[in-house]
Each structure stands twice: as C-alpha cells, then as structure tokens.
C-alpha cells in the first residue's frame, strides 16, 4: 500500500493504532509470560519479535557488555532483566521507529509509551528482592546501555529513549498495588480491542471483558490515588482508549460507562498545583539538560553512599527519580 495512504489510514483511526499496540504486547507476552511459574520467569520462542529495526534478529535488542552490579541489583536476576530489557527495547522501537506501521503509534501520541512503562514496572516487580528492581534496571540498563542513550531521530521532543523514560519515571515508581490494577485494566482493554469486530462495529463479544474492565476501574477510581505520581497520566491514557473503543460500537450505550468525573477533576487540580510551584517551569528543562544533571549527580551520590558502606555499615538503597521536576532528578534514601 502507498506510504501516504497508510499514513492517512492509521492517522485517522485510533482504533487501529491501539489494536496494533495490543498485538505487539501480545507478541511479547507469548515470549515472556507475565506470570511466574514456580517463582521464575518463563521464556519461549522469540521469533515473533523479529522486525526491521532489529534486522529480523531479536538478539540484537540485547544490551552488550553491561555490568550487573550486586550493589544495586540481585545478581540472580541478571538473565531475567537482560531479557526484560530486550522486550522493552522491542516495544519502544515498534511504537516509535519505522519498524512496522507507518507512522509509528507514538508519533502522534507519545503517551502510548505509558503502556510500556506499566508493563515494564509490572514485569520487574514480579520477583521480590531485597534490592529495588526499578533502581537496578534503570541504573544498569537505561543509564549504561547505548541502545537507550543513542539519538533517536524519530523522537522530536527527546534525544533518546533514556530521555523519554526519564519523563515517565513517576509511572515506573508508582505504588505497585495500583500499578498492577492498571496493568490488569490494560490487558482487558487489549482483549476487547482484539475481540471487537471492526468491520461490523459489533461490541457483543467485548461485553464480558468490558464489565471486568469497569470493575477494575472502579477500584482505581479513587481521587486519593492522585497523590501517587504517575497515576493521573496512566488514568487519562487508559480511560481515553476505553472511551475510543466504546465510540466505535454501533450502539455506544452497549458497553458500560466509566465514571471519571471526580478523579479527572482531582487530577486537574493536582496538575495545577504542580504548575504553580515556584520555579517549576524553570527546572522543566529539555531532556538534554536533564541527562546532564543526572550524569553529574549519580557519580557524586554513589560516592556519598559508598563511604558508609566502606565503613561496614549496611544499608538498603533506593534511588528515587524525580521526573516532573528535573526530567530526571536523583536522591538516594538509605534505610
């Protein structure tokens, strides 16, 4: 099909975009299921993850020569996290680069990347550890792997995947119980998009999943949750995509409504508060300056932490990335 025709076709059809996205997540879950068996991740054949961006060889998504430090990480998780990183890069490429559909889904809506962050955080936290798995992943792969740091021409507002992820750290660090509900709701949404008869605009098959989705959303629909950074963005992205599917039905009253009024208002209030914080806009620099700040902060703070460790004092370390203020800020909490 002519490239311009494809562009116009997808650009005017949000349903097809989400359908495409859900199929890519389905590919990843076929290779890397989102449930542990006997406490371990399971990995299957990865042939469905070959694409133009990895030269039809999924192994090219792996980060090479990365030091997996037992200071930040549980060393037993190395093989698992290498594969999760490869899956993350596959999804980023599929949604941002010209690997499959043109234009890529995130070209017109970068918030689609929220789904990758929800998946990534959920997968990293399937296994419990005395170390913080998000800190381990960021400090090992995102910060040191060239594939996350190289310039991505298709990104207009960010220089690299690292720069993009820095703005989404709130979502990665979201309360795990809330995030797991977002992940469940996202999976249900994808199942509805997959079952929907796009030609007949028939939502009959989706009704059961829609009822489950609404029940899950009721559990999430708590204005108090807006205190968790990243909640409002995930809430907005997911609810909008459900409403888009509902609008595709012949009878948009067939699928149940989700009441977002109160939480939407609270999220709007929280956003206004952030925007009114003195100096907020001054510190909301572009990603390049954010990465520069991070590159200076991390070595200094790691030295700061290393001193008591060398003195024989044991600490558990959690690195907290403050996305909304610095793009990426960094503080280290010892406890």
Strands (E) in the chain, as ranges, are 317-320, 331-334
pLDDT tens digits, one per residue of 120-131:
999 999 999 999
Largest CA-CA distance found in the chain, in angstroms, rounded: 69
For position 302, what pLDDT does the model report?
A: 52
Average pLDDT over residues 37-62: 92
For position 127, what pLDDT does the model report?
A: 94
For position 11, what pLDDT does the model report?
A: 46
pLDDT tens digits, one per residue of 244-299:
998 888 776 788 999 888 899 999 888 788 777 644 444 444 444 344 335 444 55
37 DSSP β-pair partners: 40
Residue 151 CB-density burial (10 A; 0-12 exposed, 13-18 middle, 19+ buried)? exposed
State what percent of residues in the chain have pLDDT above 70. Answer: 77
Residue 44 has pLDDT above 90, yes or no: yes
By C-alpha distance, which of 301, 294, 300 is closest to 322?
Answer: 294
Cα distance between residue 250 and residue 112, in whole Å: 26
Cα distance between residue 186 and residue 117, in whole Å: 12
Residue 4 has pLDDT above 60, yes or no: no
What's the pTM? 0.80
More confident residue, 124 or 20: 124
Structural element, H or E, at residue 320? strand 317-320
State what percent of residues in the chain have pLDDT above 90. Answer: 52
More confident residue, 204 or 31: 31
Cβ(295)–Cβ(328) below 8 Å: no
φ, ψ dihedrals at 44, nearest 5°: -110, -170
Cβ(126)–Cβ(83) below 8 Å: no
């Amino acid at each position: 099909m002519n490239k311009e025709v494809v562009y116009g076709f997808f650009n005017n059809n949000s349903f097809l975009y989400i359908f495409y996205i859900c199929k890519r997540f389905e590919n990843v879950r076929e290779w890397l299921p989102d449930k542990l068996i006997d406490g371990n991740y399971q990995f299957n054949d990865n042939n469905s993850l070959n694409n133009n961006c990895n030269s039809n060889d999924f192994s090219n998504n792996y980060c090479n020569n990365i030091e997996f430090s037992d200071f930040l990480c549980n060393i037993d998780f190395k093989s698992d996290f290498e594969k999760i990183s490869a899956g993350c890069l596959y999804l980023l490429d599929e949604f941002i680069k010209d690997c499959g559909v043109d234009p890529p889904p995130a070209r017109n809506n970068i918030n689609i990347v929220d789904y990758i962050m929800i998946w990534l955080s959920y997968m990293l936290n399937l296994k419990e550890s005395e170390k913080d798995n998000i800190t381990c992943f960021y400090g090992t792969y995102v910060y040191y792997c060239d594939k996350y740091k190289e310039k991505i021409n298709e990104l207009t507002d960010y220089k690299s995947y690292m720069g993009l992820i820095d703005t989404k750290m709130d979502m990665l660090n979201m309360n795990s119980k809330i995030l797991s509900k977002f992940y469940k709701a996202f999976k249900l949404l994808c199942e509805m998009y997959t079952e929907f008869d796009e030609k007949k605009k028939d939502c009959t098959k989706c009704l059961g999943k829609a009822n489950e989705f609404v029940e899950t959303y009721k559990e999430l629909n708590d204005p108090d949750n807006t205190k968790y950074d990243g909640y409002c963005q995930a809430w907005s992205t997911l609810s909008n995509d459900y409403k888009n599917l509902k609008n595709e039905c012949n009878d948009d009253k067939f699928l149940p409504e989700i009441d977002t009024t109160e939480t939407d208002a609270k999220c709007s209030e929280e956003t206004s508060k952030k925007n009114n914080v003195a100096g907020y806009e001054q510190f909301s620099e572009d990603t390049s300056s954010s990465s520069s700040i991070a590159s200076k902060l991390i070595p200094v703070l790691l030295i700061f932490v290393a001193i008591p460790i060398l003195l024989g004092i044991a600490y558990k370390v959690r690195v907290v990335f403050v996305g909304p203020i610095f793009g990426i800020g960094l503080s280290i909490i010892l406890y």
